[in-house]
Chains A and B, each alone.
Chain A
Amino acid sequence: MIRETWLNAATLTLLVAVPAWALVVDEPFTITLATRAVIFAIAAVGLNIALGLGGLVSLGHAAFFGIGGYAMGILAHHAQTYVPLEIGPLTLAGTKSMPVIWLTAMVTSGLAALLIGMLSLRTAGVYFIMITLAFGQMFYFFAISWPAYGGEDGLSIYVRNGFPGLNTLVPIQFYGLCLGVLLLVLGGMFLLARSPFGLALNAARQAPGRVETVGLNGQRVKLVAFVISGVITGLAGALFADLNRFVAPTMFSWQMSGELIIFIILGGTARLFGPVIGACVFVLLEHLLGGLSEFWLVYLGALLLIVVLFARGGIVGLLSGRRAVHD
């Protein structure tokens, strides 16, 4: 426990110190890299609510990541072209305001998660994996074949969206904003895991029969967890699109879903900081190995095999020398 706390503190320190150092020595690319890691971490913490706490192996979370991305892309696109967005009888103006975009991203991905969750949770185990994967793919093909927002080519945004009181065009300010969101999400996760809801969710994963026997609806608890999880991953999607000032169907791809799971496993399931450490290590590997070889994914694959076959508990488990125990 104590070593894990130290590990978490060290991670936080690095998340502050590395970009600060990059600012001093004027390395904006490092800040961008760190922002990427932090946004991936938010998405993975979101997924971890479903996967780590609820035991729901969703291979379709790219759907929410992509919906968040397109929420940003579509709203900003309408704002920069001054064409209002018409949905049936409703006419909405586009926006370049992050809070509005975030809210839209969270609401739409939450609705999608509700729908996908209601269908997928009718099943369990391997069916659940295949179905979430399939629904993720559905959004991918929809994005490709829907021509209004760029189809396969995606949408570019000229200028990063704004946040009140900040200049988001300055990399370190945008980084700080993303880090703030990550800390909020981590705080929420910390509370949620210990709350009555988290207790019920945890128990629904470990002993589904028990939860029903004490009179609780385990499936509904899992559905709510799936929705919360989708909402957070959707928010991360909006941030990711803003980081790149670009959104494309690849955000919906099944590889994206797979990578989100990899972040969690690299770091360690159901550990508060597992997904954060996993996402940072992934971005670092991507950068370092990607610089060494065009075929760096081979090494990632090999590393992943080793982690799965030999190092259950991920990096946090390895370093803290303790098997994952929920508390």
Chain B
Amino acid sequence: MSAILIIEQVLNGLQFGVMLFLMAAGLTLIFGVMGLINLAHGSLYMVGAFAAAAVAGVTGSFVLALAAAMGAAAIAGVLVETLVIRRLYRADHLDQVLATFALILIFSEGTRWAFGSFPLFLDTPSWASGPVTLPGGIEYPKYRLMLIGVGLAVAAGLGLLITRTRIGIQIRAGENDREMIAALGVDISRLYTLVFALGAALAGLAGALVGAIQSVQVGMGEPVLILAFVVIVIGGIGSIKGALIGAILVGLTDTLGGIFLPEVFKLFMAPAGATATGSALASMAIYILMGAVLIWRPTGLFGARP
């Protein structure tokens, strides 16, 4: 096993991680500020991917496709927030789970209705396709490198937004004490819609970016959603920093586990059995990681202690 392969896989893990971060950041903000568990966040990811594929198909512009993804997901987010989600803030978690589960059904089947069951394809833009040579002579896809850059840039931007701006102060105040921000004269319902739209736009962006390296299809959002939950459980609810670190941990564990665990098992097992055992265990690796974090810190790495 060469150093080049390892570096390549670390980059793949990082890329997967930062995309998970885009999902997890929105979810954790929505939970932190509004106390809402939103299962339909994966649907917004899907909406973004479909919007991007549709716009790219018509205009041929990847940048326009990304803008469309964020716009469509944000609009879907605002619609959903004002029509349904708003009634759920005071409801118990069970109602939130059911209502947002219902939204998944509506989004998924609605999309199947509109676009059919066959996957769409979104091409990577020509200016970002092909490999790039990194220091040390490692060839790595330019597009994936771009994804890492975009993800980290969004993380930095979110960090600034939360710590340096008026909106950010309101968001943090909202996480600590909902009554207080009302007392400060902040229009809560506008703040909630805004946070929801922001989270939705990030999910849409992730859907479009990932859609270019996988296929765009109904049901693509939910596996990512569940991984984002794992990220939040590990990072701690409400913490952007936790979401970033959790996402990268999960991305690296999943990618490296899938490659290296079968190799590890080959050291003491027959190759066929080792591959089967190794990959089966690798599929469980992030959940084992989650279990370990739970035993160590039930509220996650950066979650508030009760």
Interface residues of A, Cβ cutoff 8 Å to B: 51, 57, 59, 119-120, 122-123, 125-127, 129-131, 133-135, 137-138, 141-142, 144-148, 254, 258, 261-262, 265, 269, 295-298, 300-302, 304-305, 307-309
Q: How far is the CB of A131 from chain B (nearest CB, A)?
A: 6
Tell me if A295 and B295 are in contact (CB < 8 A).
no
Contact among A120, A133, A146, A300 for B226, CB-based, below 8 A:
A133
Interface string of B111-154 (1 = CB under 8 A from A): 01100000000000000000000000000000000000000000
Q: A146-B280, A304-B98 are known; give 11 further A-B pairs, CB within 8 A.
A: A126-B37, A137-B226, A261-B97, A262-B98, A269-B94, A300-B102, A301-B105, A302-B106, A304-B101, A305-B99, A308-B91
Tell me if B37 and A130 are in contact (CB < 8 A).
yes
CA of A299 to CA of B237, assembled, Å: 33
Tell me if A123 and B226 are in contact (CB < 8 A).
no
Interface string of B276-290 (1 = CB under 8 A from A): 100110111001001
User: Which range contains the number of B residues in contact with the other chain?
Assistant: 35 or more
The 9 closest A-B pairs by CB, nearest first: A301-B105, A138-B287, A304-B102, A141-B283, A130-B229, A301-B106, A298-B109, A301-B102, A122-B298
**Chain A residue nearest to B103 in the complex (CB):** A301
Tell me if B229 and A142 are in contact (CB < 8 A).
no
CA of A134 to CA of B225, assembled, Å: 10
Chain A residues lying within 8 Å of B294, measured Cβ to Cβ, are 119-120, 122-123, 131
CA of A309 to CA of B91, assembled, Å: 9
Chain B binding surface, main DSSP class: helix
Q: State whether the Cβ of B31 lies closer than 8 Å to any Cβ in chain A.
A: yes
Chain B residues lying within 8 Å of A135, measured Cβ to Cβ, are 287
Contact among A127, A258, A301 for B233, CB-based, below 8 A:
A127
Tell me if A298 and B95 are in contact (CB < 8 A).
no
Q: How far is the CB of A241 from chain B (nearest CB, A)?
A: 20
Chain B residues lying within 8 Å of A304, measured Cβ to Cβ, are 98-99, 101-102, 105
Q: 20 A-B residue contacts at CB 8 Å? A: A119-B295, A120-B294, A122-B294, A127-B237, A129-B93, A130-B229, A131-B233, A133-B226, A134-B290, A141-B284, A142-B283, A142-B284, A254-B222, A261-B101, A295-B113, A296-B109, A298-B105, A301-B109, A305-B84, A305-B106
Chain A residues lying within 8 Å of B105, measured Cβ to Cβ, are 297-298, 300-301, 304
Q: Of A51, A265, A297, which is in contact with the most chain B CB atoms at under 10 Å from its CB?
A: A297
CA of A23 to CA of B18, assembled, Å: 58
**Chain B residue nearest to A266 in the complex (CB):** B98
Q: State whether the Cβ of B245 lies closer than 8 Å to any Cβ in chain A.
A: no
Tell me if A130 and B280 are in contact (CB < 8 A).
no
CA of A302 to CA of B103, assembled, Å: 8
Chain A residues lying within 8 Å of B112, measured Cβ to Cβ, are 295
Q: Of B102, B284, B290, which is in contact with the most chain A CB atoms at under 10 Å from its CB?
A: B102
CA of A258 to CA of B102, assembled, Å: 10
Tell me if A123 and B298 are in contact (CB < 8 A).
yes
**Chain B residue nearest to A309 in the complex (CB):** B87
Q: State whether the Cβ of B9 lies closer than 8 Å to any Cβ in chain A.
A: no
CA of A39 to CA of B156, assembled, Å: 51
CA of A146 to CA of B91, assembled, Å: 40
Tell me if B229 and A133 are in contact (CB < 8 A).
yes
Chain A residues lying within 8 Å of B298, measured Cβ to Cβ, are 122-123, 127
Chain B residues lying within 8 Å of A119, measured Cβ to Cβ, are 291, 294-295
Q: State whether the Cβ of B271 lies closer than 8 Å to any Cβ in chain A.
A: no
CA of A301 to CA of B113, assembled, Å: 14
Chain B residues lying within 8 Å of A59, measured Cβ to Cβ, are 97
**Chain A residue nearest to B303 in the complex (CB):** A127
- Report if A129-B37 is in contact (Cβ < 8 Å); known contacts: A297-B109, A308-B95: yes
Chain A residues lying within 8 Å of B84, measured Cβ to Cβ, are 305, 309
Chain A residues lying within 8 Å of B276, measured Cβ to Cβ, are 146-148
Tell me if B279 and A145 are in contact (CB < 8 A).
yes
Tell me if A254 and B226 are in contact (CB < 8 A).
yes
Tell me if B226 and A134 are in contact (CB < 8 A).
yes
Contact among A120, A129, A295, A302 for B97, CB-based, below 8 A:
A129
Chain B residues lying within 8 Å of A127, measured Cβ to Cβ, are 233, 237, 298-299
Tell me if A298 and B37 are in contact (CB < 8 A).
no
CA of A125 to CA of B94, assembled, Å: 9
Tell me if B98 and A265 are in contact (CB < 8 A).
yes
**Chain B residue nearest to A312 in the complex (CB):** B95
Chain A residues lying within 8 Å of B104, measured Cβ to Cβ, are 301
Q: How far is the CB of A167 from chain B (nearest CB, A)?
A: 38
Tell me if A134 and B229 are in contact (CB < 8 A).
yes
Chain A residues lying within 8 Å of B101, measured Cβ to Cβ, are 258, 261-262, 304
CA of A295 to CA of B232, assembled, Å: 32
Tell me if B99 and A309 are in contact (CB < 8 A).
yes
Tell me if B31 and A308 are in contact (CB < 8 A).
no
Question: Which residues between 21 and 64 of chain B lie within 8 Å of chain A, taking CB atoms?
Answer: 31, 35, 37
Q: State whether the Cβ of B159 lies closer than 8 Å to any Cβ in chain A.
A: no
Tell me if B280 and A126 are in contact (CB < 8 A).
no
Tell me if B280 and A125 are in contact (CB < 8 A).
no
Chain B residues lying within 8 Å of A137, measured Cβ to Cβ, are 223, 226, 287
Tell me if B93 and A57 are in contact (CB < 8 A).
yes
CA of A138 to CA of B289, assembled, Å: 12
Tell me if A130 and B291 are in contact (CB < 8 A).
no
Chain A residues lying within 8 Å of B223, measured Cβ to Cβ, are 137
Chain A residues lying within 8 Å of B109, measured Cβ to Cβ, are 295-298, 301
Chain B residues lying within 8 Å of A122, measured Cβ to Cβ, are 294-295, 298
**Chain B residue nearest to A141 in the complex (CB):** B283
Q: State whether the Cβ of B200 lies closer than 8 Å to any Cβ in chain A.
A: no
Q: Of B105, B106, B222, B232, which is in contact with the most chain A CB atoms at under 10 Å from its CB?
A: B105
CA of A298 to CA of B111, assembled, Å: 10
